C-alpha cells in the first residue's frame, strides 16, 4: 500500500469523515490500490450492527431509515447509511439521491449517508457494498443501515451483508404478499407494516402472521436464513422465541406497525432489532452468519479474478467477436473454445497444487510440520 493510501487509512481510523468518503469512493470506483486498503480494514471491523432495510417501492423505506437514524442518535449512537439506488444507464451511478428523503439528520456529522449504485447486480447490491460496510465499521459507526432498491428473490443478497434484515410491507398489499412471500419469508428477520394508519393495515398484519405460521409448519428447514420455527405465541408476545427446552430454538420474525412520517412505532422497531441482535449472539448464529459472509466474499473475489483472467485469455485468442465468427463459420464450437481458453488456467492450478504438495511433504518426502 502506497504512502497516500496509508495516510488515508490513518485518517479514516482517526475518525475523519472526509477520509471515509474518499475511501468509499475508491472502493466503489475500484481504483488502483483499493484491495490493499480494504485488506487493512478487516483488522478494525466486527463491532458495528449491520441492518438491512428492504421492501417494495413506495413502502416508505427512506423515511423510516431517516427516523431510525434520528432515534439512534437520540440514544447516543453513531450511524452510517448506505442507500442502494438503481443504476443510471448512462453513468452507472446512483440516480435517486436518497439524501433528499433523509432530512431529519442533515448537518449531523455522526450520521453519514452514502448513495451507491446497484450497478446492475442481480441482488440489488453491488460488490462494493460489503467493502463500504467495512469502511464504516472500521471508522467506528455503531449502526450501519443498508437501504436497498426493492424486495423479493432479487434481494436475497442483502442477507449476505446484513446481520438483521427488516422487510417493509405497505398496507393493502394483498396479492403482492402472496407473490413475494417466498422471497420475503426467507430474508425477513423483522416485518414492518409501515403507513399503518392507512386502510388495510390490519389485514396486511394478519396476512403476514398467516404467512409466518405457514413457514413454521414447513419445519426448521423451511424458515429461510433465520430458521423460522418455535413460535412464542401471539398478541403482545408476537415474535418472541420459545423459552422451552427445544434444542432447535429459532427466531420468529416479529411484525411491527409504524408510521414513519410521524415516528410512530420506531422505538419498538429498534427494540425488535436489538432483540434479534441478542438472539444472534446468544444462539451462536451470528458467528455462523459471519463465516458464511466471508465464504461468499471469497467466492465473489475468486469469480471476479477468474473472470478477469479469462477476459485476458480471450483477448490473447483474438477476442470474443473473432471467436464467435469462427463458430458461425463452422470452424469450431463454443465448448472447444472454452476448453482451449481454460487450458492455461487449469495448468496454472495444477502447477500450484504440485508446489503445495512439495511444501507439505518436504524435499526428502518426509512430512513437514
What does the pLDDT look like over 82-132, one tens digit per residue? 988 765 444 444 444 444 455 566 667 899 999 887 654 544 456 788 899
Give Cβ neighbours of residue 331 (< 8 Å, ≥ 6 apart): none
What does the pLDDT look like over 49-87, one tens digit per residue? 999 998 877 788 999 999 999 999 999 999 999 988 765
Residue-level length of the chain? 369
In the sheet that holds 143-147, the strands lie side by side as 111-117, 79-85, 143-147, 49-55, 164-169, 190-193, 255-257
Q: What H or E segment, with its residue span, contains residue 148?
A: none
Residue tagged 511444501 (cell numbers): 359
For residues 116-140, b (16+ Cβ closer than 10 Å) or e, as one string? bbbbebebbbbbbbbbbbbbbbbbb
**Whole-angstrom Cα distance, residue 265 to residue 252?**
19
- Residue 162 carries which DSSP code? -
CATH domain 43-283 topology: Rossmann fold (3.40.50)
Model pTM score: 0.79
**Whole-angstrom Cα distance, residue 140 to residue 131?**
14
Question: pLDDT tens track of the chain, all 369 residues?
Answer: 889 999 999 999 999 999 999 999 999 888 999 999 999 999 999 999 999 998 877 788 999 999 999 999 999 999 999 988 765 444 444 444 444 455 566 667 899 999 887 654 544 456 788 899 999 999 999 999 999 876 544 456 677 789 999 998 888 755 556 655 566 667 889 999 999 999 888 888 888 888 887 766 665 444 445 543 333 333 344 444 444 444 446 889 999 999 999 999 999 999 999 999 999 999 999 999 889 888 888 888 888 888 888 888 788 777 889 989 999 999 999 999 888 888 887 888 888 777 666 666 665 555 544
Q: What H or E segment, with its residue span, contains residue 50?
A: strand 49-55
Domain ranges for the chain: 43-283, 294-361
Amino acid at each position: 500500500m502506497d504512502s497516500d493510501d496509508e495516510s488515508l487509512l490513518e485518517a479514516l481510523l482517526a475518525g475523519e469523515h472526509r477520509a471515509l468518503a474518499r475511501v468509499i469512493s475508491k472502493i466503489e470506483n475500484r481504483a488502483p490500490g483499493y484491495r490493499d486498503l480494504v485488506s487493512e480494514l478487516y483488522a478494525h471491523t466486527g463491532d458495528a450492527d449491520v441492518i438491512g432495510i428492504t421492501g417494495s417501492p413506495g413502502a416508505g423505506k427512506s423515511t423510516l431509515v431517516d427516523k431510525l437514524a434520528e432515534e439512534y442518535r437520540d440514544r447516543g449512537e453513531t450511524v452510517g447509511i448506505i442507500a442502494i439506488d438503481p443504476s443510471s444507464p448512462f453513468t452507472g451511478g446512483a440516480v435517486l439521491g436518497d439524501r433528499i428523503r433523509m432530512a431529519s439528520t442533515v448537518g449531523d456529522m455522526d450520521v453519514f449517508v452514502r448513495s451507491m449504485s446497484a450497478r446492475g447486480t442481480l441482488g440489488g447490491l453491488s460488490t462494493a457494498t460489503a467493502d463500504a460496510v467495512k469502511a464504516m465499521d472500521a471508522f467506528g459507526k455503531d449502526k450501519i443501515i443498508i437501504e436497498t432498491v426493492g424486495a423479493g428473490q432479487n434481494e436475497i443478497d442483502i442477507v449476505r451483508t446484513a446481520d438483521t434484515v427488516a422487510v417493509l410491507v405497505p398496507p393493502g398489499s394483498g396479492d403482492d404478499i402472496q407473490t413475494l412471500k417466498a422471497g420475503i419469508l426467507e430474508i425477513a428477520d423483522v416485518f414492518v407494516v409501515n403507513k399503518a394508519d392507512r386502510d388495510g393495515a390490519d389485514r396486511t398484519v394478519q396476512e403476514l402472521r398467516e404467512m409466518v405460521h405457514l413457514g413454521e409448519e414447513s419445519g426448521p428447514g423451511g424458515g429461510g436464513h433465520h430458521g423460522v420455527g418455535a413460535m412464542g405465541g401471539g398478541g403482545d408476545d408476537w415474535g418472541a422465541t420459545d423459552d422451552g427446552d427445544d434444542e432447535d430454538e429459532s427466531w420468529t420474525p416479529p411484525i411491527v406497525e409504524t408510521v414513519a412520517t410521524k415516528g410512530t412505532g420506531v422505538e419498538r422497531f429498534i427494540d425488535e432489532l436489538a432483540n434479534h441482535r441478542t438472539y444472534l449472539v446468544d444462539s451462536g448464529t451470528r458467528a455462523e452468519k459471519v463465516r458464511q459472509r466471508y465464504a461468499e466474499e471469497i467466492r465473489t473475489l475468486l469469480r471476479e479474478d477468474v473472470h478477469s483472467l479469462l477476459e485476458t485469455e480471450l483477448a490473447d485468442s483474438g477476442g470474443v467477436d473473432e471467436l464467435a465468427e469462427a463458430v458461425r463459420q463452422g470452424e469450431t464450437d463454443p465448448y472447444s473454445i472454452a476448453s482451449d481458453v481454460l487450458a492455461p488456467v487449469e495448468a496454472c492450478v495444477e502447477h500450484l497444487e504440485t508446489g503445495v504438495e512439495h511444501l507439505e511433504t518436504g524435499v526428502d518426502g518426509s512430512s513437514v510440520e
